Amino acid sequence: MKTVLITGCSSGYGLETARRFRAEGWTVLATMRTPRSDLDLGDGPADRLRVLALDVTKPASIEACLAEAGPIDVLVNNAGVGLLSAFEATPMATVRDVFETNTFGVMALTQAVLPSFRARGSGVVVNVTSSATLAPMPLVAVYTASKTAIEGFTGSLAFELAAFGIRVKLVEPGYCPSTRFAENGGPRMAGLIPEAYAPFAEQTFAGYGQVSTVTREVDVADAVWRAAQDTSEQLRFPAGADAVALAAGTV
C-alpha cells in the first residue's frame, strides 16, 4: 500500500491525478488551499482518501499538512497559478506572487518532505511544470520563468538525491484549454495587457483558439503516474500530444 500527496487538487491536473492514483489502489492525500467536500475524486475505498488543507506559500500550513499526512511515498508538486500579461506592465509584486506559488512553494514543500525520504532511503518527487519551458510563448514571460526555475531545480536535485534512493521527475503539460488558465489567473491579471499591446494580444489569443492538438487533464495524470513508477534515469515526461511534439523538436 503506497501513499501519494498531491498539491492543487481542487481542479484540473491535480484533481485528475488524484483520481488516477486512487483508481490504481493508492492512498491519496489530496491537498488544496480550501478543502471541498463536493469534488469527484473518483472511486475507491473511503479510508484511502483524505482531503487536506495546504497553502504551499505558508510554512505553517506546510508543517501542519505534513504532520497530519504522516508518511508518504510520492510527492506531486502540481499546485500553480497562471498569468497572462505583458511583462512591461507587470508589477514586480505580481511577479513575486507567481514565484511564491510556482517556484518557492514547490521548493519549500519538497525541502520539508526530503528528511523523511532520505531516512527511509526511498521516495519520489514529481514536479509539474509546463510546455512553455520547451518553446518560447508570448505573454507568459513571468509564468514561464517561474516554471523554468523548477526545471533547473529538478534536474539538479535528481543528481543530488539519487545516492539516497530518492527519484525526482518532471512532467511537462502542453496547452490545455479546459484548465481555464486565464480565468484561474484571477484579479492579478487585471490591467496587465495595456492598450499598446492589445492588437498583439488579440492575435495571440486568436491563435490559441485555433490550436487543434491540445493536452487533456488525463494526459497529465497518466504522465505523472508513469513518472512516479519510473526507475530509469529519465527526467522529463512531456504530457499531451502537443508537448510530446515540442519535446521532440517537431513543432
CA–CA dist 175, 148 (Å, integer): 16
Per-residue exposure over 171-202, b if at least 16 CB sit within 10 Å of its own CB, e if not: bbbbbbeebebeeebeebbeebbeeebeeebe
Phi, psi of 167 (to 5 degrees): -105, 140
Of the residues 143, 175, 197, 208, only one is catalytic, namely 143
Pairing, β 236-239 against β 27-32:
unpaired
Residue 143 bears catalytic tag:
yes
What are the grid coordinates assigned to 85, written together? 500579461
What is the number of residues in the chain? Answer: 251
Catalytic residues: 143
